[in-house]
Amino acid sequence: MLKTRIIPCLDVSEGRVVKGVNFVDLIDAGDPVEQARLYCEQGADELCFLDITATSDNRNTILDVVSHTAEEVFMPLTVGGGVRTLEDIRNLLQAGADKIAINSAAVNNPDFVKEAADKCGNQCIVVAIDAKKTGDHWEVYTHGGRKETGIDALEWAQQMAEFGAGEILLTSMDRDGTKSGFDLDLTRSISDAVSVPVIASGGVGTLDHLVDGVKEGHASAVLAASIFHFGEYTIEQARQAMHDAGIAVRT
């Protein structure tokens, strides 16, 4: 039976791990390779690096982080943040990433996803969607939640799956950094509407939130950063909580 995945996410800026609360007030907290090794030992199912390096001069630092990590940690690695071109994707895959998350570049040019999936395979293209509630639906935002696009998140997810995304990484911008739990309505609406796996993200503050994301949000995987990163909970505790709730996880 396929297991529900628990994915710790590391925000990386200029080669260092940071994690923002609502994307501001960044706190420097460590070496990404060390963190990755720790998560691997704890039995994380995958790892996600989100590169939030602001200046293009320092963008190549993520390639070093990825290659050092991939040489030491034998588990799937997703990398996102600032991916704009096929060359960016190729460079990250060459460095050892398994999956590449595309966000703004997909919004700017949806055909980019098609092209990337054709060239590299659907399995390595993850479309990251940052969604924010607007009235009775959710809209896609870019630029770390600062820029609205007017695109309906549900329709967008369906279109991206059709265009070849192998997976959707869905972040609620309303919940991100709040520790109040996933936006379960959003997660369920999108999980139920697409044929590809959906990773729930944004808002995890307790282990119950992870359980809810799967049971009520119908997510295939749950992603969290701060609860793991600051040592509030271990991956093992997360897995135990999910197991106790009757969710199939890796033992």
> Could you list the residues that contact other proteins (CB under 8 A)?
1-5, 40, 43, 45, 67, 70-72, 74-76, 93-98, 118-124, 166-167, 195-197, 220-221, 250-251
* Residue 47: CA count within 13 A, CB half-sphere: 30
**176 is a catalytic site residue:** no
* Cα four-point dihedral sign 163, 168, 169, 172: positive
Q: How far is CA 65 from CA 14, 16, 36, 135, 219, in A?
A: 9, 9, 10, 40, 28
- How far apart CA 45 and CA 7 sit, in angstroms, is 6
Shortest distance in whole angstroms from residue 119 CB to other proteins: 8
The closest alpha carbon to 210, from 199, 193, 63, belongs to 199
Shortest distance in whole angstroms from residue 88 CB to other proteins: 14
| Structure letter (DSSP) for residue 150 | E
Q: Which of 11, 45, 51, 183 is catalytic?
A: 11
- The residue (of 130 and 167) whose beta carbon lies closer to other proteins is 167
Shortest distance in whole angstroms from residue 250 CB to other proteins: 5
Q: How far is CA 78 from CA 7, 71, 97, 229, 230, in A?
A: 10, 14, 6, 17, 21
**130 is a catalytic site residue:** yes
- The residue (of 18 and 97) whose beta carbon lies closer to other proteins is 97
Q: Which of 88, 130, 183, 212 is catalytic?
A: 130
Shortest distance in whole angstroms from residue 27 CB to other proteins: 29
Shortest distance in whole angstroms from residue 69 CB to other proteins: 9
Q: How many CB atoms lie within 10 A of CB 214?
A: 25
The burial of 55, by beta-carbon neighbours within 10 Å (0-12 exposed, 13-18 middle, 19 or more buried), is given as: exposed
* Cα four-point dihedral sign 38, 99, 83, 59: positive
- The residue (of 18 and 116) whose beta carbon lies closer to other proteins is 116
- How far apart CA 214 and CA 4 sit, in angstroms, is 8
- The residue (of 56 and 195) whose beta carbon lies closer to other proteins is 195
CB 234 within 8 A of CB 41: no
- The residue (of 26 and 38) whose beta carbon lies closer to other proteins is 38
Enumerate the active-site residues: 11, 130
